[in-house]
């Protein structure tokens, strides 16, 4: 990547990081989805955006710039109530920083369209579909099913393994439907997404398995709610 492109990306990244640092002290964040989580997610989405853009032959700089800015609205509104609007708000907030970084009007519109549309498919302004928008959407969805998210899922019920197993059993059912539907837009995104979902399913099933054997082995087994949700794991406890 040439020096000009690198410089433009540095400008965007420094802006987003500054917004993250400001919002970390100014906004009341969710205890799990913190400002820091959002900034870390942003960096990984840029990483996946680059990976997908490279593999699919799309403009890496535009994709990475859009990935860096895709959740910028959170740093202004926190995990706001009106979650559906954060793409369209982010597209507006991105306008001045894209101009400052030196992106042309056309490049800026391409990036802002990808940001605007990434939540619910509605940009709020007219623009033709672009590969950059597909890359941002895929990169975001790949990271939303990452190993880091496994930890966050488990944290929500960390004091009660049985409850956690029930919650994860429901999550596994949902993950299987995502896996079948394969909702991503690019072939590379699809492959990365399948890897992430398979990893989550395997790990969650292992936790459910642990819950099933969390009892004194010589005592008669009490029926556990977690067993009912995933019947084949009952055999695993006997092994």
Q: What is the DSSP letter of 123?
A: -
Shortest spacing between CB 61 and Fe ion, in angstroms? 19
Pair 29, 35: CB distance under 8 Å = yes
By CB under 5 A, residue 71 contacts Fe ion: yes
Site string for Fe ion, 128-167 (x = CB under 5 A): ------------x---------------------------
Half-sphere CA count of 62, side-chain side, radius 13 A: 21
Shortest spacing between CB 114 and Fe ion, in angstroms? 11
Shortest spacing between CB 168 and Fe ion, in angstroms? 22
Pair 52, 191: CB distance under 8 Å = no
50 vs 71, which CB is nearer to Fe ion?
71
169 vs 188, which CB is nearer to Fe ion?
188
Shortest spacing between CB 55 and Fe ion, in angstroms? 20
Half-sphere CA count of 64, side-chain side, radius 13 A: 19
Q: What is the DSSP letter of 205?
A: H
108 vs 146, which CB is nearer to Fe ion?
146
DSSP 84-119: GGHHHHHHHHHHHHHHHHT--HHHHHHHHHHHHHTT
74 vs 204, which CB is nearer to Fe ion?
74
Beta strands of 13-159 (E only): which ranges? none
Distances in whole angstroms, Cα of residue 151 to Cα of each of 74, 144, 157, 238: 21, 12, 11, 27
39 vs 165, which CB is nearer to Fe ion?
39
Only one of the segments 26-34, 64-72, 125-133, 173-181 lies at the binding site for Fe ion (rule: CB under 5 A); that segment is: 64-72
Shortest spacing between CB 118 and Fe ion, in angstroms? 6
Count residues contacting Fe ion (CB under 5 A)? Answer: 2
Residues that bind Fe ion (CB under 5 A): 71, 140
């Amino acid at each position: 990547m040439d020096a000009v492109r690198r410089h433009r990306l540095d400008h965007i990244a420094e802006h987003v990081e500054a917004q993250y640092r400001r919002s970390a002290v100014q906004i009341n964040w969710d205890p799990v989805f913190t400002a820091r989580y959002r900034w870390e997610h942003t960096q990984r989405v840029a990483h996946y955006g680059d990976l997908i853009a490279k593999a699919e032959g799309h403009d890496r700089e535009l994709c990475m710039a859009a990935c860096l800015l895709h959740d910028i609205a959170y740093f202004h509104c926190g995990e706001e109530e009106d979650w559906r609007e954060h793409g369209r708000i982010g597209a507006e907030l991105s306008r001045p920083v894209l101009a400052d970084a030196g992106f042309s009007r056309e490049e800026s519109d391409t990036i802002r369209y990808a940001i605007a549309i990434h939540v619910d498919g509605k940009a709020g302004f007219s623009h033709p579909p672009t590969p950059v928008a597909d890359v941002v959407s895929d990169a975001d969805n790949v990271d939303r099913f990452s190993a880091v998210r496994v930890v966050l899922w488990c944290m929500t019920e960390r004091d009660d393994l049985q409850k956690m197993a029930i919650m994860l059993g429901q999550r596994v059912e949902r993950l299987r439907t995502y896996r079948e539907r394969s909702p991503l837009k690019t072939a590379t995104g699809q492959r990365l997404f399948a890897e992430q979902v398979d990893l989550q399913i395997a790990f969650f099933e292992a936790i459910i398995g642990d819950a099933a054997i969390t009892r004194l082995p010589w005592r008669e087994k009490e029926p556990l709610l977690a067993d009912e949700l995933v019947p084949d794991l009952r055999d695993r406890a006997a092994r």
